[in-house]
Structures are given as C-alpha cells and as structure tokens.
C-alpha cells in the first residue's frame, strides 16, 4: 500500500489501522511491522529524538514493507513538512494546529511542494497554479502525500469548522493527552467533557467528509471511538506495546516460578 491507496481506502468508507513508532530506530524494524497487518505507521519526531538522516534511513526501509510511513513532524511548519516528504515519507502529521493559517502552510507544503511563497499561497487560497501543466505535474508528484492535521486543544476545536474548509486535509488527528489537559481533565478519558469534545470533533469532521484519527493507548478506548466514528485507527505505540507484552508474559512466568506477578505497572510513555 502507498499513500494514495491509503487515502482511497479510507475515503471509500474503509478503516485503516496503524500505530506510532516512538522508540524504534533501526531500519530492520520495518520488516517486523510488515508482519503485523498494519496499513500505516506514524514515525514520531515531535517527542522522539530522531535526526534527519536517521528518519530518511528508516523511511527507506519501509518503502518495501507494504506499510505506509507517515512522519509526525515537530511543529506545523512547511520546512519540516518538506524535509519529511523529501526523505521519502508518504505523508505527515502536523501536531497542535490552532489556526487556519498554520493549516494552510502545512497543506501547501504537503500538496504543492516545491512551490513556495506567493505561488503556494495562491495555490492553497485560490487554486491558482502557474499553468495547467504545473498543476497536473504537482498533483502527480504529490499524489501519495497524506496530510493529517492535529487538533489537540480547545482553541483548535473552536476553529475546526473553518480549518476543515482548507482543501487538501486528508484526516484530523486527536492527541488525547494534550486535549484532555487543555480541557482541564488530564488523562481522564471517560470524563464527560473529554467525550463531548471528541464527539464534537467527529461530528464536524463527518459534516466535512474528513476522517478522524484518535490516538488511544488501550484496546477498549480504541474500540469505543472506532464504533463512534473514527475510521483512521491509531493504536498505542511500539514502546507501550513492547512494555505491555513483556509485562504480561514475564508476569505469567514469574507467577509460575516465584508465586508472584512482579507487576511493573503501566507504561509511563506520553506521546
């Protein structure tokens, strides 16, 4: 699968499944992810310390995996968008967007690179390109680019209807940790205010025919919001899943060997 096929699947009503790569660094990880039945991965560069060359090597390994590599860039900035795409990513996730101008900058870089400055602003604002030939060329060049916009605060939700009017957004991402803090209910994912905010986001996105990603860390939460309308499933991360698997399996081994589970507790990773 490539970025264009991922977009086609979700836009035709299908569901796509992925996870976040927060700690994996070796390109050999790509072969493991290829065997998990995933459609895509988000490679984090917002909270994870990865350099530009390292990201490029990691993405190159994913090109032959059948799993679509998408980069979560550090901030919603056109420079970071083009760096990720030039490295071979099939898309970007721009975190913590709160204004229409921020979103336009991200979309312009994702959909119309290498146009810059006044020309890219005309392309985004008015759909004006230097020529039909340039438009056809850039649409083909950027056809795989998935553009995901992060809505992670109450100011962002208040502007979401206007943000969704920007042509070129392929999905809206919700970061539960940031959003719950913004709402004043940190990590309270069953709080009425949090659930109400998610339902508001889903309703606005459905009205604009835009898929929603919600990055939850447990199976029950992921299933709950899948059933409520999130078609872009982003579940957990490599770090948290590794922690949970070792916790469960070694807990069973220790219980057999020592009569105690030796519980190490929940993962403290916040992504």
pLDDT tens sequence across 76-127: 999 999 999 999 999 999 999 999 999 999 999 999 999 999 999 999 999 9
Query: How far apart are the C-alpha atoms of 88 and 70, rounded to whole Å?
Result: 9
- The Cβ of residue 133 has, within 10 Å, a number of other Cβ atoms equal to 9
Residues in CB range of 204: below 8 A, 6 or more apart: 160, 161, 164
The gap between the terminal CA atoms of the chain, to the nearest Å, is: 26
Query: How far apart are the C-alpha atoms of 178 and 270, rounded to whole Å?
Result: 10
Query: How far apart are the C-alpha atoms of 241 and 237, rounded to whole Å?
Result: 6
Four-point Cα dihedral 15, 9, 238, 62, nearest 10: 170
Query: How far apart are the C-alpha atoms of 213 and 218, rounded to whole Å?
Result: 14
What mean pLDDT is reported for the chain?
A: 93
Q: Yes or no: is domain 3-239 CATH 3.20.20.60? A: yes
Instruction: Give how far Cα 139 sits from Cα of 8, 12, 106, 114, 186, Å.
Output: 15, 20, 16, 11, 41
SS3 252: helix
- At residue 261, the pLDDT reads 60
pLDDT tens for residues 47-56? 998 889 999 9
**CA-based nearest residue to 148, from 48, 268, 20:** 20
Which of 154-158, 217-221, 247-251, 261-265 is predicted with the least confidence, judged by mean pLDDT? Answer: 261-265
Contact (CB, 8 A) for 51 and 74: no
User: Which pTM was predicted?
Assistant: 0.93
Q: What is the 3-state secondary structure (H, E, C) of 175-241?
A: CHHHHHHHCCCCCCCCCHHHHHHHHHHHHHHHHCCCCEEEEECCHHHHHHHHHCCCCEEEEEEHHHH
- Check whether 259 has a pLDDT greater than 70: yes
Which of 133-137, 207-211, 219-223, 253-257 is predicted with the least confidence, judged by mean pLDDT? Answer: 253-257
Tally of residues, the chain: 271
Residues in CB range of 122: below 8 A, 6 or more apart: 128, 129
- At residue 264, the pLDDT reads 67
- Check whether 263 has a pLDDT greater than 80: no
Query: How far apart are the C-alpha atoms of 94 and 106, rounded to whole Å?
Result: 7
For 88: left if phi > 0, alpha if psi spans -120 to 50, otherwise beta; the answer is left
Rounded (10°) angle between helices 117-126 and 100-112 = 100
- Check whether 205 has a pLDDT greater than 90: yes
In which element (H, E) is residue 234 found?
strand 232-237
Q: What single-letter DSSP state applies at residue 90?
A: S
Instruction: Give how far Cα 221 sits from Cα of 185, 187, 225, Å.
Output: 16, 12, 6
Q: Where are the domains of the chain?
A: 3-239
Contact (CB, 8 A) for 7 and 210: no
| Band of residue 260 on the pLDDT scale cut at 50, 70, 90 | low
Contact (CB, 8 A) for 151 and 172: yes
- At residue 75, the pLDDT reads 97
- At residue 249, the pLDDT reads 84
């Amino acid at each position: 699968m490539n970025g264009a096929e991922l977009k086609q699947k979700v836009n035709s009503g299908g569901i796509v499944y992925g996870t976040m790569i927060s700690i994996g660094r070796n390109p050999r990880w790509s072969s493991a992810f290829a065997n998990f039945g995933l459609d895509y991965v988000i490679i984090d560069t917002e909270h994870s310390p990865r350099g530009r060359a390292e990201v490029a090597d990691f993405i190159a390994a994913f090109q032959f995996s059948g799993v679509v590599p998408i980069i979560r860039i550090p901030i919603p900035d056109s420079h970071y968008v083009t760096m990720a795409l030039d490295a071979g990513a099939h898309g970007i996730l721009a975190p913590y967007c709160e204004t229409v101008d921020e979103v336009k900058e991200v979309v312009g870089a994702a959909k119309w690179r290498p146009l810059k400055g006044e020309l890219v602003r005309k392309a985004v604002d008015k759909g004006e390109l230097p020529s039909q030939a340039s438009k056809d060329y850039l649409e083909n060049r950027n056809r795989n680019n998935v553009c995901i916009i992060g809505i992670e605060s109450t100011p962002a939700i208040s502007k979401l209807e206007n943000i969704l009017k920007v042509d070129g957004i392929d999905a809206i991402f919700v970061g539960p940790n940031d959003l719950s803090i913004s709402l004043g209910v940190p990590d309270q994912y069953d709080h009425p205010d949090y659930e109400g905010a998610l339902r508001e986001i889903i309703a606005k996105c459905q009205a604009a025919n835009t898929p929603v990603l919600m990055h939850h860390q447990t199976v029950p939460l992921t299933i709950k919001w899948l059933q409520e309308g999130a078609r872009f499933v982003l579940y957990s991360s490599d770090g948290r899943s590794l922690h949970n698997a070792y916790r469960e399996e070694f807990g069973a081994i220790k219980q057999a060997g020592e009569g105690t589970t030796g519980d190490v507790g929940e993962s403290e990773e916040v992504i």
